[in-house]
C-alpha cells in the first residue's frame, strides 16, 4: 500500500511527532499558537505542517481569517490495523494457550471453582 | 477567544470511490451497519428529517435531525447522545459531513462540534470516528471491514459495493 509511505515518512521526525503531541494536547491551533510552544522557527513549523498535511495527519480548516490545524488520527488507526493489530493476534493466542495450560494443569485436582450449569 | 468555548475535531480520510457511492454508503442503513459495528441509522435524509442511530437490538444510541443536506456533497446533523446520561446532559452537538472528489478519490471530512469547553461527548465520539472511518474506507475499497464488535462476526463481504 503506497498510501503509507508519506505517512511513515511524516512520522520519522522528532519535530513533527512533537507537533502532533502539541495538537493532541490542544487541537485546532493556529500556526502562531503552535510556534509559541515549540523550539523551532516559524518557517520550520510551516514546513513540518506541510509534510503532516500531505500525509493527512493534520487537517486544516478556516475560521474567518484563522487557519486552524487539527490532529487527524484516521491514518494512525489504519497503521494500527495494518501493522499492530495483526501482530497482536499471535501474542493473544499465546496468552490464551498459557491460561488454558495453567487452568488444566493437574487434571486430577480440579480448581475450586463453581461449575457453570449452562 | 470564542474558540475556547467549544470542543470540536476535524477528521479526514481519502477513499478510492465516487461521491455517489460514498454518499450511498453513508446513508443506506444496510450499508451503514456493515462498517458501524452493527449499528445503523433510521432517517429519511431530507432537511428536517429525524435522525436516529439504532443498535441491532433496536435500542437508541443517538438522536437528532438533519439540518442541511446536499447530496452527494454535504450534510449537517444535529446530534445528541441518548445512551449515556452524562453525555446526553451535555446537549446538542453538530456533525458536518463533507465529500469532495479529488482525482480518483473522495476526500471525506467529518467535523464534530459542541458549544461547550472540555466536552466529554466530543472525547467519546472522537474516539469512535477513526475506527468507523477506517472501517468505511476498507469496506468500500476492499469489501471487507477490519473491526467488528461481535466476536463471532467475521469480516463481511460486501455485495456490489466493492470497487476493486
Tell me the CATH number at A57.
1.10.10.10
Instruction: Give chain B's mean pLDDT.
Output: 87
> What strands lie across the sheet with B74-81, from one edge to the other?
B7-15, B105-114, B93-102, B74-81, B60-70, B50-54, B40-43
Indicate whether A67 and A91 sit together in one domain: no
Instruction: Flag whether A36 is in a domain.
Output: yes
Q: What does R_g of chain B's alpha carbons equal in angstroms?
A: 16
Lowest mean pLDDT: which of A68-72, A110-114, B7-11, B73-77? A110-114
Predicted ipTM of the assembly: 0.72
Residues A10, A63: one domain?
yes
B interface residues, A as partner, C-beta within 8 Å = 3, 8-14, 109, 111, 129-131, 133-134, 137-138, 146-147
Q: How many CB pairs under 8 A join A and B?
A: 48
Nearest residue, CB atoms, A77 vs list B12, B109, B131: B131
Residue with cell 494500527: A80
- Taking alpha carbons only, the member of B132, B72, B134, B145 closest to residue B106 is B72
Class of domain B2-142: alpha beta
Q: What is the DSSP string of B129-150?
A: HHHHHHHHHHHHHHS--S--SS
pTM given for the model: 0.79
Q: What is the dihedral of CA B70, B71, B76, B77, to 10 degrees?
A: 130
- Are A24 and A63 within one domain? yes
Inter-chain CB proximity B134 and A63 less than 8 Å: no
Q: Do residue A36 and residue A90 come from a single domain?
A: no
The answer as to whether A86 is a domain residue is yes
List the domain range (segments joined by +) for residue A24.
Answer: 4-72
A67 in the same domain as A79: no
pLDDT higher than threshold 80 for residue B107: yes
**A48 and A88 part of one domain:** no
A3 vs B62, higher pLDDT? B62
More confident residue, B163 or B48: B48
Q: How far apart are CA A82 and CA A69, in angstroms?
A: 26
CB neighbour class for A18 (10 Å; exposed up to 12, middle 13-18, buried from 19): middle
Element (H, E) at B86: helix B85-89
Please determine, for residue A110, whether its predicted confidence score (pLDDT) is greater than 80.
Answer: no
Please tell me whether residues A52 and A85 are part of one structural domain.
no
Q: Residues with Cβ < 8 Å from A114, sequence gap 6 or more? A: none
- Tell whether A92 and A68 lie within a shared domain: no
pLDDT in tens, A52-92: 999 999 999 998 999 999 999 999 988 888 888 777 777 77
Picking from B146, B147, B164 by the largest number of A CB atoms within 10 A of its own CB, the best residue to mutate is: B146
Verify that A56 and A68 share a domain, yes or no. Answer: yes
Residue A46 within a domain: yes
pLDDT at position A111, please?
A: 47
Q: Quick one: pLDDT at residue B6?
A: 87
Q: Are B67 and B80 in contact (CB under 8 A)?
A: no
Nearest to B79 by CA among B139, B122, B36: B122
d(CA A100, CA A91): 14
Any idea which of A75-79, B100-104, B131-135, B154-158 has the lowest mean pLDDT?
B154-158
CB B157 within 8 A of CB B10: no
Residue A116 domain flag: no
Number of domains forming the structure of chain A: 2
pLDDT computed for residue B45 by the predictor: 97
Whether residues B12 and A72 touch (CB distance < 8 A) is answered with: yes
Q: Which residue has the higher pLDDT, B132 or B153?
A: B132
What is the mean predicted confidence (pLDDT) over B89-99?
97
Strand (E) positions, A11-79?
A: 58-63, 66-71
Q: Say if CB B7 and CB A49 are below 8 A apart.
A: no
Helix (H, G, I), strand (E, B) or coil at B117: coil
Min Cα–Cα distance to chain B from A113, Å: 25
Q: Please say if the pLDDT value at position B32 is more than 90.
A: yes
Please report the beta strands in chain B, taking only residues with DSSP state E, as ranges in sequence order: 7-15, 40-43, 50-54, 60-70, 74-81, 93-102, 105-114
Indicate whether A45 and A77 sit together in one domain.
Answer: no
Q: Do A61 and A35 sit in the same domain of this protein?
A: yes
In chain B, residues with a C-beta closer than 8 Å to the C-beta of A81 are: 134, 138, 146-147
* A-chain residues near B13 (CB < 8 A): 56, 74-75
Q: B45-92 pLDDT, tens per residue? A: 999 999 999 998 999 999 999 999 999 999 999 999 999 999 999 999
Same domain, A27 and A78: no
Dihedrals phi, psi of A83, to nearest 5 degrees: -115, -10
Ranking A73-82, B20-29, B139-148 by mean pLDDT, the lowest is: B139-148
- What is the predicted pLDDT for the residue at B2? 56
The grid cell for B153 is 462476526
DSSP A38: S
Amino acid at each position: 500500500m503506497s498510501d503509507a509511505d508519506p505517512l511513515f515518512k511524516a512520522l520519522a521526525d522528532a519535530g513533527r511527532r512533537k507537533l502532533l503531541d502539541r495538537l493532541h494536547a490542544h487541537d485546532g491551533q493556529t500556526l502562531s499558537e503552535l510556534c509559541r510552544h515549540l523550539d523551532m522557527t516559524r518557517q520550520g513549523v510551516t514546513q513540518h505542517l506541510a509534510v503532516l498535511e500531505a500525509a493527512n495527519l493534520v487537517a486544516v480548516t478556516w475560521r474567518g481569517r484563522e487557519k486552524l490545524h487539527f490532529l487527524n488520527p484516521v491514518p494512525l488507526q489504519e497503521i494500527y490495523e495494518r501493522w499492530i493489530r495483526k501482530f497482536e493476534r499471535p501474542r493473544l493466542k499465546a496468552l490464551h494457550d498459557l491460561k488454558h495450560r495453567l487452568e488444566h494443569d493437574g487434571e486430577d485436582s480440579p480448581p475450586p471453582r463453581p461449575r457453570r450449569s449452562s | 477567544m470564542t474558540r475556547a468555548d467549544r470542543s470540536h475535531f476535524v477528521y479526514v480520510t481519502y477513499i478510492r470511490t465516487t461521491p455517489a457511492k460514498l454518499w450511498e454508503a453513508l446513508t443506506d442503513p444496510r450499508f451503514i451497519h456493515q462498517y458501524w459495528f452493527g449499528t445503523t441509522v433510521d432517517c429519511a435524509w431530507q432537511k428536517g428529517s429525524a435522525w436516529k442511530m439504532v443498535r441491532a437490538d433496536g435500542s437508541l444510541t443517538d438522536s437528532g435531525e438533519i439540518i442541511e443536506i446536499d447530496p452527494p456533497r454535504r450534510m449537517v446533523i444535529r446530534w445528541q447522545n441518548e445512551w449515556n446520561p452524562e453525555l446526553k446532559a451535555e446537549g446538542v452537538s453538530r456533525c458536518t459531513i463533507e465529500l469532495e472528489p479529488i482525482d480518483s478519490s473522495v476526500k471525506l471530512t467529518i467535523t464534530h462540534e459542541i458549544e461547550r469547553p472540555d466536552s466529554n461527548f466530543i472525547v467519546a465520539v472522537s474516539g469512535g470516528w477513526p475506527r468507523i472511518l477506517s472501517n468505511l474506507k476498507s469496506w468500500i475499497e476492499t469489501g471487507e471491514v477490519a473491526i467488528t464488535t461481535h466476536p463471532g462476526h467475521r469480516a463481511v463481504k460486501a455485495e456490489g459495493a466493492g470497487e476493486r
